Structure 1
Amino acid sequence: METLELSIIMPCLNEAETLATCIEKAQWYLQEYQIQGEVLIADNGSTDGSQDIAKRMGARLVNVTEKGYGSALMGGIIAAKGEFIIMADADDSYDFRSLNPFVEKLREGYDLVMGNRFKGGIKPNAMPFLHKYLGNPVLTWLGKLFFKSPCNDFHCGLRGFRKRAIMSLNLRTTGMEFASEMVVKATLNGLKITEVPTTLSPDGRSRKPHLRTWRDGWRHLRFLLLYSPRWLFLYPGFFLMIMGLISTIILLASPRVHSLLYSATAIIIGFQLVNFAVFTKIYAIQEGLLPNDKRVLKFKDLFSLEIGLIIGSILFIAGLITSIFALFQWEAVGFGALNPVQTMRLVIPSVTAIALGLQIIFASFFLSVFQLKVK
């Protein structure tokens, strides 16, 4: 396959109103700056004649049958002949004549060059109020918090990248969250990332955009959470365990046995969340969804089924012994009425120890299944 320097990719689904304008601007850019490149239209099943427009304008048409924004883009990326790729929507909201900042950064050696609309300028009516002041800032902030990403506009639709670098990420999402997946995986895999200011203009279509504020916003948020087991499971789990443990120690000397029950429950739920964090992280690494983590590898080396069985059995036996002691206390009063304040101070920690012990035992077996798969 012939290799070019640049492929300009536009995902397309019924963009007949603006497609010709976008293609014309992209072709002008390639010619004006004497870049060996192509304009590639990744069509996702248009029914308004967009395919004919692309052919008539001399763009290369790639038909992508699997539905979704991410599917269309991935189909275009795979088919692209360029060493570098610049992608943007075909709605005329980005100016394809102003791609030099992206190309220059790619030539400097960057793997991913993100546009930043908040630095370059958002023209009046170009971005809905909720997107501008809630959706994009919040999701970008979460992306930076969860993944330490250098990007300040996570969802800018105009971005450039090296084809080889992005193909190595094994991107899998098919919808609008594809934009988040690219940034997250590029960050986690240590790609060289930068951003340049870009301008967002009102799109030239008379119809509503494909983007749905709440549906697609949730899909982006869901993706960020699922790709960060630390923030979804680990940190909340540790918080519940620590607060539950502190509360339990304080309440053991208190008559507030109902509060003691809740604090013990927090310990159990928190520990279960920590388990989920470990399971999810190891599974994601083994399936190639997340890169290797030295801390996880060290944990797998130090932890064994036997160690888990020993720790879990100690807790289980301790809880069982104290439960038997509570039973003897009940027998001492002829299995009659008990003072719940005194009894529950012993029963609640006993049940908690039994539950934690069993969780550790079966979690150890579950982790061993992962290790068998690796071997």
Structure 2
Amino acid sequence: MTDVVLPCLNEAAALPWLLARMPDGYRPIVADNGSTDGSAGVARRLGARTVEVPQPGYGAAVHAGILAADPADGVVCVMDADGSFDPAELPSLADPVRAGDADLVCGRRRPTAAGAWPVHARLANAVLARRIRRGTGLPVHDIAPIRAARREALLALDLRDRRFGYPLELLLGAARAGWRVRELDVAYHPRAAGTRSKVTGTVRGTLRAIHDMRAVLAG
């Protein structure tokens, strides 16, 4: 059974569709990061394991979810809980890791509709990804919000960022560790009605994420 960590902050509207789409053999862990819309209760009613994460921040939620994952399978996936990704695509990311062909597989977002990925967020992502390619040689074009890797290897990287800098720190840590990193195209859908991205949903959110990622790069 492969655990899927879903960092969650006020995603009650998206969870029913998302959890219903989990492939066979994939088990969701909803890492609830202080939701006020009943997300944790929705997840529990739908049979998902829920982990309460009192420390605010995307990285805190992801880290708590990875700690809660069962080490038996070895592979763990992470994806946003807002309905922008289809869980049916998870095996394409996890299978190369399980087969030993890659250490980290990241999704490269391909928007399926206008407005799914706002221009301000796409440009910021492109700048950061280009810097990663130049600085590390990793073949990445997206600071991936959906990914798969081995649980114990992720924990061994000892990532410390608990905010929006976490995905960037992961790529830098993977490069330092000599990981084989692969990037695959994944469909990027408009978010579920009633939800809004904490990063791309507003210019302020994007600027906050850039600030956190710059702190990672400076460190």
The normalised TM-score by structure 2 is 0.91
Alignment-derived partner of residue 207 in structure 2: 214
**Separation (CA, whole Å) in 2 of partners of 1:150 and 1:17:** 34
Offset at residue 68 of structure 1 (A)? 0.6
Map 1:162-311 onto structure 2 (within 5 A): 162-211=150-199, 212-226=205-219
Match of 2:118 in 1: 128
Secondary structure at the residue paired with 1:196? strand
Question: Which digits, 9 at most, give the CA deviation of each residue in 1:54-106, with x for residues without a partner?
Answer: 11111111111111100000000001014111111111000011222112211
Aligned residue number for residue 99 of structure 1: 90
Please say if 1:74 is aligned against 2:63: yes
Q: Output the CA distance in 2 between the equivalents of 1:46 and 1:207.
A: 12
What is the Cα-based RMSD across aligned positions, in Å?
A: 1.5
Secondary structure class of the residue paired with 2:86: coil
- 1:204 positional shift: 0.9
> Identity, % of aligned pairs?
31
Q: Distance in 2 between matches of 1:223 and 1:8?
A: 25
Alpha-carbon distance, 1:207 to partner = 4.4
Residue 209 of structure 1 deviates from its aligned partner by 2.1
Paired letter, 1:14: N
Q: Which has the higher strand share?
A: 2
Q: Secondary structure at the match of 1:115?
A: strand
Residue in structure 2 matched with residue 114 of structure 1 by the alignment = 106
SS at match of 1:7: strand
Larger Rg: 1
Which residue in the other structure is 2:202 paired with? Answer: none
Q: SS of the residue aligned with 2:88? A: coil
Q: Deviations over 1:127-164 (max 9, x none)?
A: 111122x20111111111222222221x2211111101
Tell me how far 1:208 sits from its aligned partner: 3.4
Question: Which residue is equivalent to 1:11?
Answer: 7
Q: C-alpha distance in 2, partners of 1:215/1:68?
A: 11
- 8 Å CA contact 2:111, 2:117 repeated in 1: no
**In the aligned structure 2, how far is the partner of 1:131 from the partner of 1:68?**
18
Kindly indicate whether structure 1 or structure 2 has the higher relative contact order, using CA contacts under 8 Å at least 6 residues apart. Answer: 2
Match of 1:236 in 2: none
Could you say what secondary structure the match of 1:199 adopts? strand
Q: In the alignment, is residue 41 of structure 1 matched against residue 37 of structure 2?
A: no
**SS class of match (2:21):** helix
1:112 corresponds to which letter in structure 2? L
The TM-score normalised by the length of structure 1 is 0.54
The answer (yes or no) to whether the contact 1:22–1:96 under 8 Å persists in 2 is yes
Count of aligned residue pairs for this structure pair = 211
- Stretches of 4+ moved more than 4 A in 1? none
CA distance in structure 2 between the partners assigned to 1:216 and 1:89 by the alignment: 15
Distance across 1 between alignment mates of 2:91 and 2:111? 17
Q: String of CA shifts for 1:29-68, please: whole Å, max 9, x gaps.
A: 12xxxx2x42111111112111111111111111111111
Distance in 2 (CA, whole Å) between partners of 1:55 and 1:175 is: 25
* Aligned residue number for residue 255 of structure 1: none
Equivalent of 2:41 in 37, 44, 52: 52
